[in-house]
Copies of this chain bind each other. A is one copy, B any other.
Amino acid sequence: MIRLRNVVKLYRAGSVVVPALRGITLDIERGDFVSIIGSSGSGKSTLMNIIGCLDRPTRGTFELAGHDVSKLSDDQLAYARGRQIGFVFQAFNLLPRMSALEQVELPLTYRGGKNQRRSAMKALADVGLGDRMHHKPNQLSGGQQQRVAIARALVGEPSVILADEPTGALDTKTTADVMDIFVRLNRVQGMTVIFVTHEPEVASYTDRVIQLRDGMIVSDTVATSP
């Protein structure tokens, strides 16, 4: 479903070239529940942005559901992203002038269909923000903003969820509540879930842990317990 072969990503900062990914080869199948761990700067967000079709590799190939993504136009890429992929950004990326409810409804308006307001309200209630729906981002705490970003990614029921440190701003109890949602989506609805996390407790919820170091995969371990 997600297939990377020798993916390289080079950034340029002034005259310096930063090799953020130095040859990633990886397969992720439908219904997998994967975490990506690694130290700060090891390339996790860069890898997520490529898998989420928000950025393109410098070299190497990336196929999504059998299609070579490099052959898709930006429009086709945006369409695949909008339909298939829910993305929780490391910096949340909320729109500053919209309330939590409006932010979470937004992906649904692109899809059309009924009951958008009700689905958005449910998604916010599921992450414990039922009483914060009309708050704008600057009227929300850090962990509340993160949960709005999670609700927004989940509300359209995408087939793949990419979450970049989705519990980074949350305390232990709220983290456990959010992880229960992801586990249910994966086990019950068969959603493919890919996390970046630096918290070992969060990685332990997933079936498979991929470790990055300096832009390379150094280990890829499947949990053996059922």
Q: Is A39 an interface residue (CB 8 A)?
A: yes
CA distance A37 to B143 in the complex (A): 13
Q: Is A139 an interface residue (CB 8 A)?
A: yes
> By the criterion CB–CB under 8 Å, are A170 and B142 in contact?
no
Which of A13, A14, A143 is packed against the most chain B CB atoms within 10 Å?
A143
CA distance A141 to B164 in the complex (A): 12
> By the criterion CB–CB under 8 Å, are A169 and B170 in contact?
no
List A residues 72-99 near B (Cβ within 8 Å): 90-91
Q: Is A174 an interface residue (CB 8 A)?
A: yes
Produce 1/0 per residue, A125-140, CB < 8 A to B: 0000000001110010
> By the criterion CB–CB under 8 Å, are A174 and B39 in contact?
yes
Q: Which residues of B contact A198 (CB under 8 A)?
A: 143, 169-172
> What bracket does the count of chain A residues touching chain B fall in?
20 to 34
Number of copies: 2
Q: Is A165 an interface residue (CB 8 A)?
A: yes
> By the criterion CB–CB under 8 Å, are B39 and A173 in contact?
yes
Q: Which residues of B contact A38 (CB under 8 A)?
A: 171
With A14-B134, A134-B13, A198-B170 known as contacts, the answer to whether A41 contacts B141 (CB < 8 A) is: yes
Instruction: Quote the shortest CB–CB distance from A127 to chain B (angstroms).
Output: 10
List A residues 9-36 near B (Cβ within 8 Å): 11, 13-14, 16, 18
Q: Nearest 8 CB-CB pairs, A to B? A: A40-B143, A171-B198, A39-B171, A90-B142, A41-B141, A40-B174, A13-B139, A13-B135
